[in-house]
């Protein structure tokens, strides 16, 4: 079986700087990491591979040339092969244009490798843009069924069984192949990179996919100009300070005061 995991390189910071001209992220001077949710998607793939050695994992990233570092990180832990979709015509793409480019890149990789991907895994969202749109949009572009907010998954009776988070708890959904699954944070962390793999990953070739490689891509639907989303204004939210601290009296009394405050302000209905 073949799994493709979409990953994004994101700045490792809470306070993201925005270019006021283009309203896009300024990446210079900020440490870059693999989007943590994509890390969980990759780990979900790796756990399937732990059980079935025949599974092949392909990592795909769209981004500037330096995003190669993020792909090497994936190769260090569990990806077998990696592709970087990078082209100046891709720059400034919104989530719709990105999903379109990624879905075209996926088709290209399938033809290059002579395979069909059974599963496309993504993080539920990137910690910089926070839209949570790319995974579901890839599913739409490819016309695949999708499951969002996955925690863990297993291949069972020719289907993929996904334990997913819901507002009320968890549920298991089964889906046919090929499918798209987006993952959220489970109660474990992705595996650490084995040193041998890490050193090998440094030397591995990462294949580039540019706009010229994507036959039939509609250039009017990609890049900043091809993106229907127009960012009019962005700002860093103010951190709320203050609040009330109950310092006096025993802990039980403080808890009771807090409970009353929550109920009085209808934050919660009732506290027993």
| Site of interaction with other proteins (CB under 8 A) | 12, 31, 33-34, 36, 73, 76, 187-189, 191-196, 198-199
Picking from 112, 83, 23, the residue whose alpha carbon sits closest to that of residue 209 is 83
Q: Measure the CA angle with vertex 208, ends 204 and 211; round to 5°.
A: 175
Minimum CB–partner distance for residue 184 and other proteins (Å): 16
Rounded Cα–Cα distance for residues 241 and 138 (Å) = 39
Minimum CB–partner distance for residue 188 and other proteins (Å): 4
Among residues 195 and 212, whose Cβ is nearest to other proteins?
A: 195
Minimum CB–partner distance for residue 104 and other proteins (Å): 30
| DSSP letter string, 81-138 | EEEEE--GGGTT--HHHHHHHHHHHHHHHHHHHT---SEEEEES--TTT----HHHHH
Beta carbons within 8 Å of 66's beta carbon, 6+ residues apart: 9, 27, 32
Minimum CB–partner distance for residue 156 and other proteins (Å): 21
- Which residue in this structure is represented by tokens 């939210």? 237
Six token digits for residue 16: 């993201």
Minimum CB–partner distance for residue 250 and other proteins (Å): 15
- Which residue in this structure is represented by tokens 């993504």? 122
Six token digits for residue 189: 């962390």
Edge-to-edge strand list for the sheet holding 207-209 = 170-175, 159-165, 146-156, 179-183, 119-123, 2-7, 56-62, 81-85, 207-209
Six token digits for residue 72: 């090497």
Among residues 13 and 131, whose Cβ is nearest to other proteins?
A: 13
Question: Across-strand partners of 150?
Answer: 164, 183
Among residues 12 and 17, whose Cβ is nearest to other proteins?
A: 12
Among residues 13 and 207, whose Cβ is nearest to other proteins?
A: 13
Minimum CB–partner distance for residue 245 and other proteins (Å): 19
Minimum CB–partner distance for residue 71 and other proteins (Å): 14
């Amino acid at each position: 079986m073949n799994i493709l995991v979409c990953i994004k390189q994101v700045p490792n910071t809470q306070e993201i700087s925005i270019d006021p001209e283009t309203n896009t992220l300024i990446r210079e001077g900020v440490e870059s990491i693999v989007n943590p949710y994509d890390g969980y998607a990759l780990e979900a793939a790796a756990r399937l591979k732990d059980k079935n050695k025949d599974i092949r994992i392909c990592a795909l990233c769209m981004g500037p040339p330096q995003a190669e570092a993020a792909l090497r990180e994936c190769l260090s832990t569990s990806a077998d092969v990696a592709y970087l979709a990078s082209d100046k015509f891709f720059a400034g793409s919104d989530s719709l244009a990105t999903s379109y480019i990624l879905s075209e890149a996926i088709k290209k990789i399938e033809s290059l490798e002579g395979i069909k991907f059974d599963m496309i895994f993504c993080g539920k969202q990137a910690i910089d843009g926070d839209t949570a749109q790319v995974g579901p949009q890839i599913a739409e572009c490819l016309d695949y069924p999708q499951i969002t907010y996955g925690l863990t998954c297993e291949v069972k009776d020719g289907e993929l069984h996904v334990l997913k988070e819901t507002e009320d708890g968890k549920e298991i959904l089964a889906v046919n192949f090929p499918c798209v699954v987006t993952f959220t944070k489970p109660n474990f962390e992705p595996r650490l990179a084995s040193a041998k793999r890490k050193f090998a990953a440094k030397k591995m070739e990462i294949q580039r996919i540019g706009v010229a490689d994507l036959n039939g891509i509609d250039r009017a639907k990609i890049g900043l100009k091809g993106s229907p989303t127009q960012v009019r204004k962005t700002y860093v939210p103010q951190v709320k300070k203050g609040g009330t601290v109950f310092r006096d009296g025993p802990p039980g009394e403080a808890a009771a005061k807090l409970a009353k405050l929550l109920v009085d302000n209808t934050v919660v209905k009732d506290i027993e």
